[in-house]
C-alpha cells in the first residue's frame, strides 16, 4: 500500500487545499511524484512544502483550469520535471450557490466553466499526453452528490457535476483503447473548513445513515484506490462517498 505509486508521476488540480490537497498528500505518501496545480501559486507551493517536508517529491504549478494554454504548460512542466504522466486527478472546482430564479449568467458561466469545462480541458490535455507516451494511465474526476440529487441553490453546481459524471463515462469509453481508465468520485458533505462546524444540517442528517461529515482524507483514500493498479478493471464509474446520503429511502421502517 505504501508504495502503490512508486515510480509514477501524478497531477492533482485544485491540489493546494481541501479535497484536492488531501489527494495530493495521499498520492505522495504512497510514492508518487506529485505536481500540485492550483489557481493560486502560493497555495500550491505551501502544499508542495508540506509534501517535501514529509519526505515526498512534489512540484508546484499555477494554472486556471478554464485556460487551455495554462493547463498545457503546467502538464508539460510536470512531464519535464518527473519524466511522465501516469495519474491525473481533477479536483479543481467551485461551489457558488444561488436560488434558481436568482442565478445570473455570470454565476452560471463561472461554475460551469470551472467545474465542467475545466475537467474537460484537463482531461483532454492529459489524455493526449498519456496516449502519446503509449503507457496508459488513470484519470479520476471529482463530481458530487449534488450531481446525483437536486439541491437548494445548486442549479449551476449540480448541473456541472452531473455533467462531470456523464463526461467520465464518455472519456472511459473512448480512452479505453489507449489503456487509460477514467472514474469519478461523488463526495457528500465533507468538512474542509473549520467554519462548517461539526453538525450536519437537519435535512441532511435525517437522510444520511452515517450521520456525520466525511473527511478529505476519506475522499483521498478512494481516489488513491481508483487511481491505482488495484482498480485495473474499473472504468467509467462514479463512486459516491457520502455516508449513504444518495441511497437512502425509508429510514423508519
Between 195 and 39, name the one with better pLDDT. Answer: 39
Structural contact between residues 214 and 242, judged by C-beta atoms closer than 8 angstroms: yes
83 SS3 class = coil
Angle at CA 66, nearest 5°, toward 61 and 72?
A: 50
Contacts for 50 with CB less than 8 Å, ≥ 6 apart: 25
Residues 157, 187, 228, 245: which is the catalytic one?
Answer: 157
Cell, residue 199:
453538525
Tens of pLDDT along 200-230? 888 888 888 999 999 999 999 999 999 999 9
* 214 burial type by CB count under 10 A (0-12 exposed, 13-18 middle, 19+ buried): buried
Euclidean distance between CA atoms 163 and 195, whole angstroms:
29
Closest C-alpha among 161, 177, 130, 174 to residue 238: 161
Residue with C-alpha cell 449551476?
Answer: 156
Tens of pLDDT along 120-172? 999 999 999 999 999 999 999 999 999 999 999 999 999 999 999 999 999 99
239 is catalytic: no
Tens of pLDDT along 68-122? 999 999 999 999 999 999 999 999 999 999 999 999 999 999 999 999 999 999 9
Q: Could you tell me the residue ranges of all domains in the chain?
A: 9-247
Euclidean distance between CA atoms 146 and 161, whole angstroms:
7
Contacts for 187 with CB less than 8 Å, ≥ 6 apart: 19, 142, 144, 145, 214, 219, 240, 241, 242
Closest C-alpha among 66, 70, 75, 84 to residue 7: 84
Contacts for 109 with CB less than 8 Å, ≥ 6 apart: none
CATH number corresponding to 9-247: 3.40.50.720
Q: pLDDT at residue 250 above 70?
A: no
Amino acid at each position: 500500500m505504501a508504495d502503490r505509486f512508486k515510480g509514477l508521476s501524478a497531477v492533482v488540480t485544485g491540489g493546494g487545499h481541501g479535497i484536492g490537497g488531501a489527494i495530493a498528500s495521499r498520492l505522495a505518501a504512497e510514492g508518487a511524484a506529485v505536481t500540485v496545480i492550483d489557481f493560486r501559486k502560493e497555495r500550491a507551493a505551501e502544499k508542495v512544502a508540506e509534501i517535501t517536508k514529509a519526505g515526498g517529491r512534489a512540484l508546484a504549478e499555477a494554472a486556471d483550469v478554464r485556460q487551455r494554454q495554462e493547463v498545457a504548460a503546467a502538464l508539460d512542466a510536470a512531464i519535464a520535471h518527473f519524466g511522465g504522466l501516469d495519474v491525473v486527478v481533477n479536483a479543481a472546482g467551485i461551489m457558488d450557490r444561488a436560488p434558481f430564479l436568482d442565478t445570473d449568467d455570470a454565476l452560471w458561466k463561472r461554475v460551469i466553466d470551472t467545474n465542467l469545462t475545466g475537467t474537460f480541458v484537463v482531461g483532454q490535455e492529459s489524455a493526449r499526453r498519456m496516449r502519446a507516451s503509449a503507457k496508459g494511465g488513470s484519470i479520476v474526476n471529482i463530481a458530487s452528490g449534488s450531481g446525483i440529487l437536486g439541491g437548494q441553490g445548486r442549479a449551476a453546481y449540480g448541473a456541472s457535476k452531473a455533467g462531470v459524471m456523464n463526461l467520465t463515462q464518455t472519456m472511459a469509453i473512448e480512452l479505453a483503447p489507449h489503456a487509460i481508465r477514467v472514474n469519478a468520485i461523488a463526495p457528500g458533505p465533507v468538512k474542509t473548513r473549520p467554519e462548517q462546524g461539526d453538525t450536519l444540517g437537519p435535512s441532511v442528517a435525517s437522510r444520511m445513515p452515517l450521520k456525520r461529515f466525511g473527511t478529505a482524507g476519506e475522499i483521498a483514500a478512494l481516489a488513491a484506490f481508483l487511481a491505482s493498479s488495484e482498480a485495473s478493471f474499473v472504468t467509467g464509474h462514479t463512486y459516491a462517498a457520502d455516508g449513504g446520503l444518495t441511497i437512502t429511502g425509508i429510514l423508519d421502517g
